[in-house]
Amino acid sequence: MNGVAIALSKGRILDETLPLLARAGIVPSKSPETSRKLVLPTCRPGVSLVMLRAQDVPTYVQYGAADLGIAGKDVLLEHGAEGLYQPLDLRIGVCRLAVATRRGVDWAATVQRGARIRVASKYVNVAREHFAAKGVHVDLIKLYGSMELAPILGLADAIVDLVSTGNTLKANDLVAVEEVVPITSRLVVNPASLKLKRALVQPLIEALGAAVDERAGAIA
């Protein structure tokens, strides 16, 4: 593409991303929430938005199919995000990755017993690293959604999942027993795009940085 493309995902981060983009002077011609178009021009000449699955954002930016992207740190950690420049913490999509078990389970004792523990997660790479760093042996089970069900149905002893209010865990009689890592959404940039399209990309990074600060000021 001649201009620059910013990769976004349609899920929950979008609600916070669109106002941030608007503050940075980037307004799509049609609403990405309702439009079926996957490439949306914006009011900013040469800048378009592309709508992807959250997990695909780092891949598109890595290959330069999109020049910039917005993704949760959870997605970036799980993906690896190799070679991606990450200039900005956008301070949206705030949550944390945590280990959770059924309420009443003595997690510390389970870990100490040294028996193989089964952990279900969409974030198997992050979970593997987390437990390896603690020297805890776990068998990982990859899931694609509704992780909360795994301990309830006995598929796993614990899950690694995102928690924000904690309401979902509570509703399913689960409790967070370990924090893995705090999460926010990040701006990712293809390094070649930054070099070759600097005139378009650099002002975008600066405008977004200013928008993040402005938003923080407005909230404080």
Taking the C-alpha atoms of residue 141 and residue 123, their distance in angstroms, rounded to an integer, is 10
Q: Which is nearer to ligand PRT, 129 or 148 (CB)?
A: 148
Choice from 35, 38, 43, 53 touching ligand PRT (CB under 6 A): 53
Q: Which is nearer to ligand PRT, 76 or 200 (CB)?
A: 76
Taking the C-alpha atoms of residue 122 and residue 131, their distance in angstroms, rounded to an integer, is 15
Nearest to residue 125, comparing CAs of 162, 74, 84, 83? Answer: 74
Which residues, including other chains, have CB under 8 Å from residue 219's CB and lie 6 or more apart?
none
CB 178 within 8 A of CB 98: yes
Question: CB under 5 to 8 A by kind: which of Mg ion, ligand PRT, none does 95 bind?
Answer: ligand PRT
Handedness of CA 209, 210, 212, 213 (dihedral sign): positive
The yes or no reply on residue 161 touching ligand PRT (CB under 6 A) is: yes
In the bound complex, what is the minimum distance in angstroms from residue 147's beta carbon to ligand PRT?
A: 7
Footprint on residues 78-97 left by ligand PRT (CB under 6 A): 93, 95
Q: Which is nearer to Mg ion, 42 or 72 (CB)?
A: 72
The yes or no reply on residue 15 touching Mg ion (CB under 5 A) is: no
The yes or no reply on residue 182 touching Mg ion (CB under 5 A) is: no
Choice from 24, 72, 121, 174 touching ligand PRT (CB under 6 A): 72
Pairing of strands 117-121, 138-142: parallel
- What are the residues facing 161 on neighbouring strands? 98
Choice from 50, 66, 74, 119 touching ligand PRT (CB under 6 A): 74
CB 6 within 8 A of CB 88: no
Q: What is the CA radius of gyration of the chain?
A: 19
The yes or no reply on residue 146 touching Mg ion (CB under 5 A) is: no
Residues near Mg ion (CB under 5 A) are 11
Residues near ligand PRT (CB under 6 A) are 9, 11-13, 53-54, 72, 74-75, 93, 95, 161-168, 183, 185
